[in-house]
Amino acid sequence: MNVPMFETEHLILRRFTACDLHALYLIYSDKEVNRFLPWFPAENIDDAKSIFDSRYADPSAFAYAVCLKADDYPIGYVNIGNEEPYDLGYGLRKEFWHRGIMTEAVSAAVECARKCGIPYLTATHDRNNPRSGGVMQNIGMRYEYSYEEQWQPKDFSVVFRMYQLNFSVPEDYVYKGYRDNSSVHFIESVR
């Protein structure tokens, strides 16, 4: 499947290229940006190259650079797994936080995934990072459950909240893989 490039009102979502290594480094090296993500921050441009090779080189992946239309320079990313559990992930350089950029980018990527036949999406966030959950809620995802996991490679316990958005599966279908793989799972009151 060839995943298209597209534009929103303020953004360009396109594939990362090898020319974007410096931008990838800026996104993945910031400790605060990557605090709630399951990897350690990039330490150098070689780490950025490894990230590009492992996450962005596959042309069939729903893996987008999020760029402002003004300069087409990547300031963030949106990724959607193309296999179950069709996990949605995103990140944005902190100087661009709180401007609605991620909600705009994620909304567009989700619509593309729906049109491309993805049956549903899941997304998880550390419950200590409620702003990420806010993006999930803003795009219409529904909270389903929370679960605890020993996060690797950082090796500490995290409680995740799992959200889901169904397209071509029954409205009440819930992906239970995260819950079933955790001995600690429960339903929280989430706003």
- Say what the pLDDT of residue 120 is: 98
Contact 15/22 with Cβ under 8 angstroms?
A: no
On whether the pTM is more than 0.75, the answer is: yes
Tens-digit pLDDT profile for residues 7-17 = 999 999 999 99
- Say what the pLDDT of residue 39 is: 86
The domains of the chain are located at: 6-186
Q: How far is CA 56 from CA 17, 42, 97, in A?
A: 8, 15, 23
- Banded model confidence at residue 5, pLDDT cuts 50, 70, 90: confident
Tens-digit pLDDT profile for residues 151-178 = 888 888 999 999 999 999 999 999 999 9
- Banded model confidence at residue 1, pLDDT cuts 50, 70, 90: low
| pLDDT higher than 70, residue 2 | no
Question: In terms of Cα–Cα distance, which of 85, 82, 70, 137 is closest to 106?
Answer: 137
Alpha-carbon torsion, ordered 106, 107, 112, 113, to 10 deg: 70
Tens-digit pLDDT profile for residues 67-89 = 999 999 999 999 999 899 999 99
Which CATH code for domain 6-186?
3.40.630.30
Question: In terms of Cα–Cα distance, which of 88, 61, 77 is closest to 13?
Answer: 77
Tens-digit pLDDT profile for residues 37-70 = 888 899 999 999 999 999 898 887 889 999 999 9
Region class of 61: left (phi > 0), else alpha (psi between -120 and 50), else beta? beta
Contact 58/11 with Cβ under 8 angstroms?
A: no
